[in-house]
Structure 1
Amino acid sequence: MIVDPIHDGATDPVLVWNHEEASWWCLFVHRRANTKIGGPPRIGRCHGSEVGAASSADGGRSWLYRGTVSLPVERGTNTFWGPDVVWHDGMYHMFVTFIRGVPDDPAWDTHGRPSPWHRQIHHLTSANLWDWEHVSRLDLGTDHAVDPYVFPMPSGGWGLWFKDEARGGSIWRAASTDLYEWKVADQVLTDWHEGPSLFELGGSIWMMAESRNGPVVYRSGDALTWEPRGPLVVPGETPRQPNVLPVGDDRACMTYYAQTGTDSFGVAVPTSGQSSVIRLAELELAGDGLECRTGVVAELPLRAARKSDTR
């Protein structure tokens, strides 16, 4: 389990192998769950969030909170959501949702229309996971793009899957040959989903995404057409923003966050139900789908696992 000892709001995890330290890192969103912004709980807890880091040198059995990484997109206090990182040609590439400033109103108004606070996906690079250089804002044909996930296409090049909040929360794909120039290619899922995560397992490409009823699973042979394989059940809680990293031919490590309503010590947080922790669980192939092994914590290999351009 990974906790945020500062704000008790660890969300949106992604696992990354730190080549310089030879250890696993979990980058996550620092949601300010224990912050009271006057009166009743406010949506502002989900904004003003930085990207935090925790590291593990023992295969994920224990984690050390390391602080926050600096993302130089704009001056001032801003909001970051849902980071994703790939390693390519000796460089880390981060794709992350950016919102200017710290809004304190919902993402949607009472008529279901998107708020005026634009959500943008930005590209940054780093050689060490600490020091980041801003590259660009991606032009994805919308001002409400969130939850990027980058994955190498079987046919070559790269795909970036994201949620468009201005088009019903549907999932879209953009394509690139070099990680720098992107063009929107197609709509992938027409109904509401968020937090897509792609991975290879058992000779297939899988996509997991969060639906209104919890995570659902899709399978593909080419990362273009997708076959629904049903929901993923994790008894006892609802996983949020699942992110999957294969650790064998038929099993994988899934990280996700779970809202607890308590702080890191189990004490109830009176101002918010958004306190959360990050958990690691093991996934395995089960027939034509995936199964979460209840009560089993996935053990990461003591080396790099692939989320890169090599296939």
Structure 2
Amino acid sequence: MSAPLLADPLGGPTDPTVIRNEQTGQWWMFYTQRRSSDTGEGVAWVHGSRIGMAVSDDGARWEYRGVAKGLDPVNEHGPNTHWAPEVAWDGSQYHMYLTWIRGIPSTWAGHERRIAHLVGPDLERWSHQGFLELSSRYVIDAAVARTPDGLLRLWYKDEADESTTWSAVSTDWHTWTVEGQAIGGAPHEGPNVFELDGWFWMIVDEWRGQRVYRSDDGVNWSAQGLILDSPGSHPEDRQVGRHADVVVLGDQAVAFYFTHPEWDGSNDVEQQAGALRRSAVHRARLRVDDDGLLRCDRNVPADEPFIF
């Protein structure tokens, strides 16, 4: 059964993304490091976050590696807010697409949210390349993949468009042209796109599990059901899985997601305030069944290596 994967010193790891280190062969996890015990006003504890890092040889045992540095523009001394990194390798260097907010707001509304682009020769040194000009300045949660037409596509949540997923295209990782809304319907966040079993898949977080979409071209999507909506068997994996990242190796795939292990599912935010602050990262197996549906198994043994 899926036990929490890492011990974060601040108790609030969310929005994980996992990538193989091309130099060492290890797996690196980057995540939003929420400040779960912060005593500031309102939702200041969700802001002011840095990007935590953890490293693993096998995908099962993770060692905390501190926080990523160099993620602010040179003229921004902070502290600022960093959320939901997306990290990709282009064959010669790494790219990070990072949700960036100035300062430490105490409210959800009233401030811009932008996606910053960073590059680095390894996973420890980053150089800020500026901000992407997208459909609004209230955008978060980038995901990147190359689609069959040869273009790079970036999907993201546009909060100015009722929290739907939009897309943009690029030929060089740096300059992006907005295409428009990719996924509408119910509000959601955290898109993640991957290839598995001959299809492109997108999962988005509807806060009641991950909605699944399938595509043959990475452009046109058809909806399926939910995954990570049913509890796992581990006592700290009983709530819905949130904001996930999927890593594919051949015909195998694993989803890394976060959940709130102490939350009882209540909508009483005041009563559950403490429980909603603590989070944990878990993993689950993914497969495509004979009917072309994406299936999920949350009950991965804690010591089982990444290669199932």
Short-chain TM bin: 0.7 to 0.9
How does 1:284-295 map onto structure 2 within 5 Å? 284-286=287-289, 287-295=291-299
Give the counterpart of 2:244 among 232, 242, 245.
Answer: 242
Query: In the alignment, which of 65, 76, 79 is matched to residue 77 of structure 1?
Result: 79
* Aligned-partner SS, 1:155: coil
1:149 alignment partner, one of 136, 143, 149: 143
Match runs of 1:160-175 below 5 Å? 160-175=154-169
TM-score by length of 1: 0.86
**Paired residues for 1:217-232 under 5 Å:** 217-232=212-227
Aligned partner of 1:204 among 199, 213, 226: 199
Partners in 2 of 1:270 and 1:177 — Cα distance?
A: 44
Q: Which residue of 1 aligns with 2:63?
A: 64
- Aligned equivalents of 1:248 and 1:177: distance in 2? 26
Q: Which runs of 5+ in 1 are unaligned?
A: 108-114, 263-268, 303-311
Partners of 1:185 and 1:169 lie apart in 2 by 16
Point out the more displaced range, 96-105 or 186-195.
186-195
Give deviations 1:1-49, integer Å, cap 9, x for gaps.
Answer: 33343210000000011122321011001001122226xxx31111000
1:257-279 CA deviation, whole Å, 9 max, x = no partner?
Answer: 011238xxxxxx98452100100
Which consecutive aligned stretches of 4+ in structure 1 deviate over 3 angstroms post-superposition? 269-272
Shifted more, 230-239 versus 207-216: the winner is 230-239
Partner amino acid, structure 2, of 1:198: V
The CA distance in 1 between the partners of 2:216 and 2:298, in whole Å, is 28
Matched, 1:135 2:129: yes
Letter in 2 for 1:88: D
Question: CA RMSD, aligned part only?
Answer: 1.8
| Aligned equivalent of 2:106 | 104
**8 A contact 1:7–1:35 mirrored in 2:** no
User: Aligned partners of 2:180 and 2:159: how far apart in 1?
Assistant: 16
Instruction: Answer yes or no: is 1:300 the counterpart of 2:306.
Output: yes
Total equivalences in the alignment: 283
> Structure 1 residues 182-191 or 159-168, which shifts more?
182-191
Out of 83, 89, 92, the position equivalent to 1:90 is 92
Distance 1:173 1:199 in 2: 15
Pairwise CA distance, 1:246: 1.1
Query: d(CA) in 1 for partners of 2:33 and 2:68?
Result: 11
- In the superposition, relative to structure 1, how do residues 198 and 299 fare at CA in structure 2: closer, same or farther (>3 Å)? farther
- Report the TM-score when normalising by structure 2: 0.87
SS in 1 for 2:160: helix
Give the equivalent residue in structure 2 for 1:3: 6
Which secondary structure state, in structure 1, belongs to the residue aligned with residue 276 of structure 2? coil
The SS at the match of 1:256 is strand
Where structure 2 has 5 or more consecutive residues not aligned to the other structure, the ranges are 232-237, 264-271
> Where do 1:34-53 residues align within 5 Å?
34-37=37-40, 42-53=42-53
Q: CA deviation at 1:227?
A: 0.8
Question: Is the 1:13–1:28 Cα contact (8 Å) retained in structure 2?
Answer: yes
User: Sequence identity of aligned pairs in percent?
Assistant: 34
